[in-house]
């Protein structure tokens, strides 16, 4: 007899419907899985057989053929164990064959019949909801993740017998309650009030956070670059539910979300080591999984000791930085992930670190210096909107007791600036200034004559690229938003231009 069970699969972040067809026919006992299964799917045989027997069901000693349709999509992982086992039960009339029809099933089986959690439940259910599915059965471990999806009733089961009882009508199904979501402020980070002096760098960090812009900190050892970068999460704008879902989808396929951390509450802050491979950074590997740039989506990617990163890895960042997405192509699959991150990079001005410091201690030769800076290519530098120089804070600042402005106050301004941006870009499919396209800029970043003239002068004087021109305009838009001004004024342009002066000073000529 033939039974069909609905399940789901993932290709990148996009889910697709999978029909699990189980055919039980007379003949020598056999168990064949077809439909592009990976090793984990093929190994379901042992788990399914033991789980059925240990749950008190009969495992048919006949010829079993399991087909996962559509045949041209790769099926990965252990999530088909539960649908296969239920398919066998339906095909052998151990449960009413039509009882499973209205549900979608996902879950791995343990040998004793327990249902185990799986990765990627959130993106699968979001896609499932879009394709009109109303009821899903998921592992208890994934219940919290499933609880956030509206318009879909999710039921959590802890064992195969529980799932079977539910289908036989012997158990009352308890839909999982909709999750209550509320974004949280970052905790456990350095407060901006503890960073002495460095007003210019703090201001740049505020603008970067407000508009989602990239930031480069260049400075002597001990000037507080790493300290400042690590304090940035404390001033990042509050997360919206839609952003939280987007972030969570990516982390869900990495299996980073189980139990209480079922949905993102804060923006991610990722700080990979400079030894990180290109695949670790941008994504890849045999399963085409997302990399750090996608795990930092809607948050911060902090690259400390920037020139120490492998050249290939840095160059691989360029396209995603422009597009906000990354496409990974592997022999068997192609996955596309969002990667709208705010890059914060930190570096010394020269190999010894002391170039341009208060005491002239640098002994590096000009060629050593230019080779060092050359590791950060021109096109990469061009994509970083705000460059700031930091030198060690003076004694007065360090010893001074005057407390700086706390992160909460800065964050309030950042939030207000983001609200202004969200309202302005309603219906445009973007949320913040760093996402503005050329076409958007004509409409949303008009300059008055004076501002236009100023930008023109700076463009020639600093020898800026066309890309830098656009980026200066976006930063000026953010500065105006932080100042609460709808029009971009000359002083906003002037400040934005000033953040590009390092191109010339360190990399120019
Ligand atoms: N502006 C500052 N206010 C308060 N403390 C500071 C400041 N700058 C540096 N410090 C202190 O000095 C320590 C070292 O700073 P940090 O590690 O951020 O320097 P860095 O610029 O990253 O140096 P390196 O180039 O060596 O990586 C900090 O942990 C902090 O204790
Ligand atoms: Mg450092
Ligand atoms: Zn030096």
Model confidence pLDDT, tens digit, residues 28-86: 999 999 998 888 888 899 999 999 999 999 999 999 999 999 988 888 889 999 999 99
Q: Are 405 and 196 in contact (CB under 8 A)?
A: no
Model confidence pLDDT, tens digit, residues 324-379: 999 988 776 778 999 999 999 999 999 999 888 777 788 899 899 889 988 898 88
Binning pLDDT at 50, 70 and 90, where does residue 151 land? confident
Model confidence pLDDT, tens digit, residues 265-284: 889 999 999 999 999 999 98
Tokens at residue 320, please?
A: 């995603």
For 292-312, what is the mean pLDDT?
Answer: 95
pLDDT at 258 (0 to 100): 59
Binning pLDDT at 50, 70 and 90, where does residue 414 land? very high
Model confidence pLDDT, tens digit, residues 9-32: 988 888 899 999 999 999 999 999
Tokens at residue 440, please?
A: 């958007």
Is the C-alpha dihedral spanning 90, 94, 97, 102 positive or negative?
A: negative
Q: Is the pLDDT of residue 462 over 50?
A: yes
Q: Which residues line ligand 1 (CB under 6 A)?
A: 195-198, 219, 221-227, 348, 353, 393
Most confident stretch, 251-265, 395-409, 465-479: 465-479
For 396-402, what is the mean pLDDT?
Answer: 70
Give the phi and the psi of residue 399 in degrees, each rounded to 5: -80, -20
**Mean pLDDT rounded to a whole number for the chain:** 89
Q: How far is CA 255 from CA 44, 121, 250, 318, in A?
A: 20, 9, 9, 27
pLDDT at 504 (0 to 100): 67
Q: Is 256 exposed, middle or buried (0-12, 13-18, 19+ CB in 10 A)?
A: middle
Q: What is the chain's length?
A: 509
Q: Is the pLDDT of residue 199 over 80?
A: yes
For 401-407, what is the mean pLDDT?
Answer: 83
pLDDT at 209 (0 to 100): 97
Task: Provide the percentage of residues in the chain whose pLDDT is more than 70.
Answer: 96
**Probe target for ligand 1 pocket from 193, 224, 229, 271, with the most ligand atoms within 8 Å of CB:** 224
Residue 22 host element (H or E): strand 14-25
pLDDT at 24 (0 to 100): 95
**Probe target for ligand 1 pocket from 205, 227, 395, 401, with the most ligand atoms within 8 Å of CB:** 227
Q: How far is the CA of 401 from the centre of ligand 1 (A)?
A: 18
Domains and CATH numbers, the chain: 2-168 (3.30.230.10), 192-507 (3.40.50.300)
pLDDT at 124 (0 to 100): 92
pLDDT at 509 (0 to 100): 47
Q: How far is the CA of 392 from the centre of ligand 1 (A)?
A: 8
């Amino acid at each position: 007899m033939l039974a069909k069970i609905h399940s789901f699969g993932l290709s990148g972040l996009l889910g697709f419907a999978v029909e699990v067809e189980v055919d039980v026919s007379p003949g020598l006992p056999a168990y064949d899985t077809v439909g592009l299964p990976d090793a984990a799917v093929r190994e379901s045989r042992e788990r399914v057989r033991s789980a059925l027997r240990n749950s008190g069901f009969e495992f048919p000693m006949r010829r079993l053929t399991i087909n996962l349709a559509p045949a041209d999509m790769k099926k990965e992982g252990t999530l088909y164990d539960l649908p296969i086992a239920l398919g066998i039960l339906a095909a052998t009339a151990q449960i009413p064959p039509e009882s499973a029809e209205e549900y979608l099933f996902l879950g791995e089986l343990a040998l004793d019949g327990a249902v185990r959690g799986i990765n990627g439940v959130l993106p699968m259910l979001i896609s499932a909801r879009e394709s009109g599915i109303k009821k899903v059965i998921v592992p208890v471990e994934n219940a919290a993740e499933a609880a956030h999806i509206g318009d879909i009733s999710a039921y959590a089961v802890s064992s195969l017998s529980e799932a079977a009882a539910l289908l036989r009508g012997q158990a009352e199904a308890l839909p999982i309650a909709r999750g209550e979501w509320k974004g949280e402020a970052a905790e456990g980070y350095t407060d901006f009030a503890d960073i002495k002096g460095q007003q210019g760098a703090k201001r740049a960090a505020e603008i970067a956070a407000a508009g989602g812009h990239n930031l480069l900190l260049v400075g002597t050892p001990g000037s507080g670059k790493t300290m400042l970068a690590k304090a940035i999460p404390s001033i990042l704008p509050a997360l919206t539910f839609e952003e939280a879902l987007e972030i969570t989808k990516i982390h869900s396929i990495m299996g980073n979300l189980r139990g209480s951390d079922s949905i993102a509450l804060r923006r991610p802050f990722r700080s990979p080591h400079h030894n990180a491979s290109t695949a670790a950074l941008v994504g890849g590997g045999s399963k085409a999984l997302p990399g750090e740039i996608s795990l930092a989506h809607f948050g911060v990617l902090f690259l400390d000791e920037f020139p120490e990163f492998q050249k290939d890895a840095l160059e691989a960042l360029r396209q995603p930085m422009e597009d906000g997405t990354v496409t990974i192509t592997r022999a068997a699959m192609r996955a596309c992930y969002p990667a709208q991150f705010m890059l914060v990079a930190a570096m010394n001005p020269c190999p010894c670190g002391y170039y341009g410091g208060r005491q002239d201690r640098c002994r590096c030769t000009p060629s050593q210096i230019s080779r060092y800076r050359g590791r950060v290519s021109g096109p990469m530098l061009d994509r970083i909107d705000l460059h700031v120089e930091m030198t060690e804070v003076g004694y007065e600042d360090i010893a001074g007791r005057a407390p700086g402005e706390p992160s909460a106050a800065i964050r309030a301004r950042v939030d207000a600036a983001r609200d202004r941006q969200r309202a302005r870009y309603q219906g445009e499919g973007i949320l913040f200034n760093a996402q503005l396209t050329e076409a958007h800029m004509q409409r949303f970043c008009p300059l008055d004559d004076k501002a236009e003239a100023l930008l023109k002068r700076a463009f020639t004087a600093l020898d800026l690229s066309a890309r830098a021109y656009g980026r200066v305009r976006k930063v000026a838009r953010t500065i105006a938003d932080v100042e609460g001004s709808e029009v971009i004024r000359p002083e906003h342009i002037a400040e934005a231009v000033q953040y590009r002066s390092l191109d010339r000073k360190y990399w120019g000529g």
